[in-house]
């Protein structure tokens, strides 16, 4: 390469490295980049090849903000001196790239690497030479850190006959797999604050006392947002106390959450429904008609006066009597079954007159 050509190359490289301006991080670790380029290929005078346009494509990856690698391929179509071959020239090389100011909008870089250059004449055989190259360039980002204008100058040295070429190109660079940088938080003077007092949750149900509408919930009981125990069937008896879940809406329940026909109690040793209790039974018919998809079991119970066998039969007669009344009032018989439990499931104590009266009862349970 002539001294004049070398001088202009050095001046161009120096000029590319002299400019930089403040910006934000534009070249970052983890970026893939693709560069289509166009420019000129300058050949050494003794090669008898005219200078020509060159087309290039680079593909690279940033290992750190500063260091990256790039594979570059160029195609140059040339005209030779009269009487000589025209050449297609293919420089290809793998380079290490060092970004000098990766956190600027205008990023200068230097590069060096090795590869090969192929000379393909119109006549004769191809000639492939080992080649090294070095150079420098600029990347100027025009859209965040995704698209940049790029200029590049390379000195190519091939070693078959030690020839020096110059490539100068310009084009675009596209960054992929990039994320927009997050600006550093502004530094502000510390503000003294008074720590809020800890929220008190006396019953430890997860709802602080100032929101808890049902304080003193037993430990481990599931509650709603108001701090009240859940009542899935909405019968007024919370789930953790409800011995008869899934009671139909509108049914009258006792303190256990069980559907007891309120007021329909039986005299000792009797299974006769008194006229005074008809209204309560009609309410049961209404609830059943409002839930046509449900089936029910009518359950008869007694106090403990008499033998177990006798009370078993008596409880069955009481359940059957209530079932018969419901069928008479229009509830389909195939939706109802009846069963007696004797005195095996008392609702209250059998040690008092009042308790025994409560145990002479009929309950209704939905069947699922």
Alpha helix positions (H), the chain: 3-17, 278-289, 308-328, 353-359
What was the pLDDT predicted at 298? 92
Give percent of the chain with pLDDT exceeding 70. Answer: 81
Q: pLDDT band at 232, cuts 50/70/90?
A: confident
| Most confident among 81-90, 156-165, 167-176, 250-259 (mean pLDDT) | 167-176
For the cut 80, the answer to whether the pLDDT of residue 134 exceeds it is yes
**Residues 325-348: what's their mean pLDDT?**
92
**Residues 174-203: what's their mean pLDDT?**
69
Q: What's the helix, strand, coil split of the chain in %, to 5?
A: 15, 35, 45
For the cut 50, the answer to whether the pLDDT of residue 34 exceeds it is yes
What was the pLDDT predicted at 125? 81
Closest CA to 133 of 101, 160, 111, 159: 111
Q: pLDDT band at 197, cuts 50/70/90?
A: low
Contact between 339 and 319 (Cβ < 8 Å): yes
> Terminus-to-terminus CA distance in the chain, angstroms?
97
Q: Which helix (H) or strand (E) holds 130?
A: strand 127-143
Which residue ranges form the domains of the chain, and what is each CATH number?
A: 3-176 (2.40.160.20), 201-230 (no CATH), 259-367 (3.30.1330.60)
For the cut 70, the answer to whether the pLDDT of residue 114 exceeds it is yes
Contact between 174 and 33 (Cβ < 8 Å): yes
d(CA 222, CA 208): 14
Q: pLDDT band at 334, cuts 50/70/90?
A: very high
d(CA 109, CA 154): 12
| Most confident among 81-85, 116-120, 252-256, 335-339 (mean pLDDT) | 335-339
Tokens 């084009």 correspond to: 171
d(CA 357, CA 295): 28
Instruction: Report the Cα 47 to chain-centroid distance in Å.
Output: 63
Instruction: Report the Cα 53 to chain-centroid distance in Å.
Output: 51
């Amino acid at each position: 390469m002539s001294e004049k050509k070398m001088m202009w190359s050095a001046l161009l490289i120096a000029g590319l490295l002299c400019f930089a301006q403040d910006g934000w991080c534009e070249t970052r670790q983890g970026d893939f980049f693709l560069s289509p380029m166009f420019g000129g290929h300058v050949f050494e005078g003794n090669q008898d090849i005219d200078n020509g346009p060159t087309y290039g494509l680079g593909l690279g990856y940033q290992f750190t903000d500063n260091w990256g690698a790039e594979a570059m391929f160029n195609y140059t179509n040339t005209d030779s001196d009269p009487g000589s071959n025209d050449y297609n020239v293919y420089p290809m090389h793998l380079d290490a790239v060092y970004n000098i100011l990766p956190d600027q909008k205008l990023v200068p870089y230097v590069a060096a690497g090795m590869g090969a250059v192929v000379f393909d004449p119109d006549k004769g055989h191809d000639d492939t030479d080992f080649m090294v190259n070095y150079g420098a360039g600029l990347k100027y980002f025009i859209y965040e850190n995704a698209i940049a204008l790029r200029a590049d100058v390379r000195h190519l040295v091939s070693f078959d006959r030690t020839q020096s070429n110059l490539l100068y190109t310009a084009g675009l660079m596209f960054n992929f797999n990039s994320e927009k940088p997050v600006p550093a938080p502004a530094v502000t003077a510390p503000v003294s604050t008074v720590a809020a007092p800890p929220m008190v949750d006396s019953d430890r149900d997860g709802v602080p006392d100032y929101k808890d509408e049902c304080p003193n919930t037993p430990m481990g009981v599931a509650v709603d947002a108001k701090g009240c125990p859940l009542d899935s069937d909405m019968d007024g008896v919370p789930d953790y106390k409800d011995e008869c879940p899934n009671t139909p809406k509108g049914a009258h329940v006792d303190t256990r959450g069980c559907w007891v026909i309120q007021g329909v109690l039986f005299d000792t040793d009797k299974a006769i429904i008194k006229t005074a209790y008809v209204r309560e039974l009609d309410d049961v018919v209404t609830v059943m008609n409002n839930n046509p998809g449900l089936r029910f079991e009518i359950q008869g119970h007694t106090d403990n006066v008499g033998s177990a066998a006798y009370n078993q039969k008596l409880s069955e007669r009481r359940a059957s009597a209530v079932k018969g009344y419901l069928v008479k009032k229009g509830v389909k018989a195939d939706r109802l079954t009846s069963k007696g439990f004797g005195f095996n499931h008392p609702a209250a104590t059998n040690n008092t007159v009042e308790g025994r009266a409560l145990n002479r009862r009929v309950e209704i349970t939905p069947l699922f």
